[in-house]
Structure 1
Amino acid sequence: MIDFNEIPYTNDTWELFGRDFLRERGFFIESPPDRGPDGGKDLLVTERLRGNLNRYNFRWLVSCKHFAKSANSVSEKDEPNILERVSSFKADGFIGFYSTLSSSGLNTRLRELRNNKNIKDYSIFDHKAIENLLVMAGYSHLLMRYFPNSYKATKPLHLIFEEYEPLFCRACGKDILMALFESAGHSANIVSAYKWDQEKNIYSIHDVYCCCKKCNSSLESSYRT
């Protein structure tokens, strides 16, 4: 759905995209991308976590890898010395921000570090996770800025509320918004049902509902009875 090759490989645009993406996810950008030796980090971000009795900051070391052109996964060789890098920046965890996938070897290494309590946690934003959030979580402005051609070819959701709100079909209960992304041929209707008001001698709105197009006939028949 999104062509990650729209972001060039010869500059720091992927890192800048990662910065803007993580900021939208609620992270505080402690150290943004910069030029020159980075010591094994592209970004340092902080997440504010809240427990039952206290709040604390969780610092993440972020590594950005843009391998979409080759479609190669990000391996252990591409992410050497993870523990040393996390420790040197006094980070609590590791985030991989990748335009492809992380390899099984890298995933195993990260799990070992977490299970051995060398790092507190890790998270991978791969191309599918990034794509789903861009299209379905209301990040259409990022999609428009960094992937203009993909923006034109997709139907991104524009966030109105702070969190995603599903739109259910009155008949089958399917989330219509998700169905529009999952099936190119899916269509839906917003239907207004009118009722004759004998006292006012006019038609008044009796009901308004959303439904899949194929479900509309059964709903219409229920209003005729």
Structure 2
Amino acid sequence: MKLDLSEISNWAEFEDLSAAYFREVSQRNDNQLSEVIVEPSGLGPDGGRDILLKFRLHDSIYSFERKWVVQCKFYNKPVTKSVLSTVNIPTLIHEYGADGYLLITNITPTSGVTNMFENLGQRCKFRYSYMIWDSSVFVQNLRMMPNLIEQYFPSYQLFLDQKKRKYNI
């Protein structure tokens, strides 16, 4: 059995998982983060921002902050450019004073979306970052978060528990 986002039942749970992931990141000792602030947008139309992330980093010389606008897309089919067309992504980044935009999807986006993000990243005059975490990238990141696996993936957690008992791990 593999860790799979199919255990997530709806968009609200997917957004909650995404926010919880970034809260959990701040608890890990293997990064240079001194603070992570996760600001969900709340109920109602979000204008393209589901989560605003603020990372405070310290590189042993200087502390600085990076902001990311995060949009979560939970669909039964690949995310297309038309799904994102209601938002001007560079303007959204500018509006929040952010450094980049992260799209988290439960399924692989179309090549049109991937190409759009590559072009935005290469041609953006403001040097904003544009990233996509599809299901495989997000699942890879979630594997390092046992608390989230236990909370959001009960079937997979049961599988792990049975495996531990079987092999006395």
Does residue 84 of the first structure (1) align with residue 85 of the second (2)? no
Deviation at 1:119, TM superposition (A): 4.5
Evaluate the alpha carbon distance shift between residue 84 and residue 111 of structure 1 in structure 2; reply closer, same or farther with a 3 A threshold: same
Q: TM-score, normalised by structure 1?
A: 0.59
Deviation at 1:58, TM superposition (A): 1.0
Q: Distance in 1 between matches of 2:43 and 2:139?
A: 27
Q: Distance in 2 between matches of 1:146 and 1:85?
A: 30
Q: Distance in 2 between matches of 1:76 and 1:63?
A: 14
Equivalent of residue 37 in structure 1, options 19, 39, 45: 45
User: Any conservation in 2 of the 1:45–1:61 contact (CA below 8 Å)?
Assistant: yes
Q: Distance in 1 between matches of 2:149 and 2:5?
A: 11
Matched residue count: 152
Equivalent of residue 48 in structure 1, options 26, 46, 56: 56
User: Any conservation in 2 of the 1:15–1:33 contact (CA below 8 Å)?
Assistant: no
Q: TM-score, normalised by structure 2?
A: 0.77
Equivalent of residue 117 in structure 2, options 97, 105, 110: 110
The higher relative CO (CA closer than 8 Å, separation ≥ 6) is in 2
Does residue 58 of the first structure (1) align with residue 60 of the second (2)? no
Q: Distance in 2 between matches of 1:49 and 1:14?
A: 26
Aligned counterpart, 2:107: 100
What is the identity, as a one-letter code, of the residue corresponding to 1:83? Answer: P
Give the secondary-structure state (helix, strand or coil) at the position aligned to 1:18: helix
User: Residues 60-209 of structure 1: matches in 2 within 5 Å?
Assistant: 60-67=68-75, 70=76, 72-80=77-85, 81-117=88-124, 118-135=126-143, 137=144, 139-154=145-160
Q: Distance in 1 between matches of 2:23 and 2:82?
A: 28
Deviation at 1:99, TM superposition (A): 1.0
Q: Distance in 2 between matches of 1:122 and 1:29?
A: 20
| Greater helix proportion | 2
Deviation at 1:61, TM superposition (A): 0.3
Aligned counterpart, 2:19: 19
Deviation at 1:49, TM superposition (A): 3.8
Aligned counterpart, 1:177: none
Evaluate the alpha carbon distance shift between residue 102 and residue 25 of structure 1 in structure 2; reply closer, same or farther with a 3 A threshold: farther
User: Any conservation in 2 of the 1:83–1:119 contact (CA below 8 Å)?
Assistant: no
What is the identity, as a one-letter code, of the residue corresponding to 2:3? Answer: I
Deviation at 1:50, TM superposition (A): 4.5
Evaluate the alpha carbon distance shift between residue 49 and residue 120 of structure 1 in structure 2; reply closer, same or farther with a 3 A threshold: farther
Evaluate the alpha carbon distance shift between residue 75 and residue 123 of structure 1 in structure 2; reply closer, same or farther with a 3 A threshold: same
